[in-house]
Structure 1
Amino acid sequence: MNILIIYCHPSKNSYTYEILQQLKSNLKKEHIDFEIFDLYKMNFKTDMSEEEYRRESYANLDIPVAKDVLKEHQKINKADCIIFLYPVWWSDCPAKLKGWFDRVYSVGYAYGTDEIKDKSKVMKKIPKGIVICTAGHSNAFLDEIGITKSMKNVMLDDRLGKRFNKKEMIVLGGTADISLVRPIHEEVINTIGKIIKS
């Protein structure tokens, strides 16, 4: 089983980084192999170039896909499960992860694939997708004001969409009082290996 973790946070002194360490520990304990791709550490280019814009906007498949994007396609097509781990900033993922979707989910790969004859260049359907995000507000507050539903619509219904067979989103809210939520979040993270294997 090939597990790909797309991690997006600029600081190692963050609660999200602490969650990454717990996740790694849990997956090792469950004997699950994984690779982590830290978008900040990779210095992943998130701004779409004018050429990429022309390719996407006009579905011009004659314009080649950027080499760094092709590398991301290769990683995705090897994965049995992709875990996205990031903090909630202004009701969504950080701009770097949004930019990853903008560039990596390219036409002819993640959408607009009906005409593509060479299916090896098309995004395969990934068996499992897990979205884990940390949030300062409590889960109850995020539910009450509709942010949780909004985030699930965007991440699960649109970005993961029909590209994944099984999808799950875990919001680790209440990080404004980490001492209170840390034990609860540890329990949740300790179930990820079992979710992957189920």
Structure 2
Amino acid sequence: MNVLWVFAHPEPRSLSGALRDDGLRTLRALGHAVRESDLYAMKWNPVVGAADFGAEAGDGRLVVGATSARAHARGELSADIVAEQEKLAWADAVVVQFPLWWYGLPAILKGWFDRVFVKGFGYGVRAEDGRTLRYGEGRLAGKRAVVVLTAGAREPSMGPRGVNGALADVLFPVHHGTLFSAGMSVLPPVAVHGADRVPDDEFTEARDLLRERLRTLETDEPIPFRTQNGGDYDEDLVLRPDRAPGGTGLGVHLTRAG
């Protein structure tokens, strides 16, 4: 497989950095081809602006979605965005690694998605019959993605009744709203809890957990999200009454509990 590793941590000597280094070695030892986007090392610009869109931006009001779609179609996106899109086009699988900060992604990684997943590439993709291709379909369909994260909170506090909220709910925006929305099949995450105080034996466990996930990257079952165009949602994109009847919340968007 071709694997793109997107890394968003400012300190290469951190726990995250050690896991990334071991993960890259593991992938290469398994025979996979690997490319990397180390966002802090690249000094990635996370801010969307008119300079992203070349001549398409013009001198008037910047309408980001429409302008980015035209720039993408006409090959006028900035070189740094194009380089990341080419990596994604090359990849069969994407590893997205970050520390969980304030229930979300570090700003530099959020900005990577904002600038790279432009309209016509990450969203706003249409079929010949006019259907919008998202949530299981789209330009990135057929690719696999896995999130690798470190969190300061201990694991029980990110369980179903934990004060920090269930991990699956916390990751729903990136899992469902970003990766799956763009068409990718999303594997269960690799999470390391209590990251600021991991002793040697727990690091070994975390390393081995990541190694095992990478060994089964091609075969692991993805999170069973419902596809948008698979018949589960009505014309208003609301779950039909006979699917998860009476249910509400994020879990109803799974075809089965998990």
| TM bucket, shorter chain | 0.7 to 0.9
CA distance in 2, matches of 1:19, 1:35: 16
| Structure 2 equivalent of residue 136 of structure 1 | 152
CA distance in 1, matches of 2:96, 2:16: 11
Residue 188 (structure 1) aligned with residue 209 (structure 2): yes
* Equivalence map 1:151-190=2 (5 Å): 151-162=170-181, 163-179=183-199, 181-190=202-211
Using the TM superposition, give the Cα deviation of residue 109 of structure 1 relative to its aligned residue in structure 2, in angstroms: 1.1
Using the TM superposition, give the Cα deviation of residue 168 of structure 1 relative to its aligned residue in structure 2, in angstroms: 2.5
| Structure 2 equivalent of residue 46 of structure 1 | 46
Higher helix share: 1
- Give yes or no for contact 2:4–2:94 (8 Å, CA) kept in 1: yes
> Which has the higher Rg, Structure 1 or Structure 2?
2
TM normalised by structure 1 equals 0.87
1:67-89 deviation per Cα after TM superposition (whole angstroms, max 9, x unaligned): 21111111101110000111111
The amino acid across from 2:147 in the alignment is V
| Cα distance change of structure 1 residues 61 and 164 upon mapping to structure 2, 3 Å threshold | closer
- Give yes or no for contact 2:51–2:78 (8 Å, CA) kept in 1: no
* Equivalence map 1:5-154=2 (5 Å): 5-50=5-50, 54-58=62-66, 61-63=69-71, 64-114=76-126, 123-143=139-159, 144=162, 145-146=164-165, 148-154=167-173
The amino acid across from 1:156 in the alignment is H
- Give yes or no for contact 1:23–1:189 (8 Å, CA) kept in 2: yes
State the 4+ residue runs in structure 1 displaced beyond 3 angstroms: 50-53, 57-64
User: Bigger shift: 174-183 or 50-59?
Assistant: 50-59
- Give yes or no for contact 1:81–1:129 (8 Å, CA) kept in 2: yes
Higher relative contact order, structure no. (Cα contacts within 8 Å, ≥ 6 residues apart): 1
TM normalised by structure 2 equals 0.68
1:89-113 deviation per Cα after TM superposition (whole angstroms, max 9, x unaligned): 1111210000001111101111112
CA distance in 1, matches of 2:180, 2:85: 17
1:4-55 deviation per Cα after TM superposition (whole angstroms, max 9, x unaligned): 0001111122111011122123223322221111011111111011465934
1:131-160 deviation per Cα after TM superposition (whole angstroms, max 9, x unaligned): 000111112212213151333211110110
SS in structure 2 at match of 1:84: strand
SS in structure 1 at match of 2:170: helix
- Give yes or no for contact 1:85–1:133 (8 Å, CA) kept in 2: yes
Identity %: 20
User: Bigger shift: 44-53 or 23-32?
Assistant: 44-53
State how many pairs are aligned: 193
1:141-191 deviation per Cα after TM superposition (whole angstroms, max 9, x unaligned): 122131513332111101101421343322111213210521220220120
CA distance in 1, matches of 2:213, 2:127: 37
User: Bigger shift: 99-108 or 166-175?
Assistant: 166-175
Please, which runs of 5 or more residues in structure 1 have no aligned partner?
Answer: 117-121
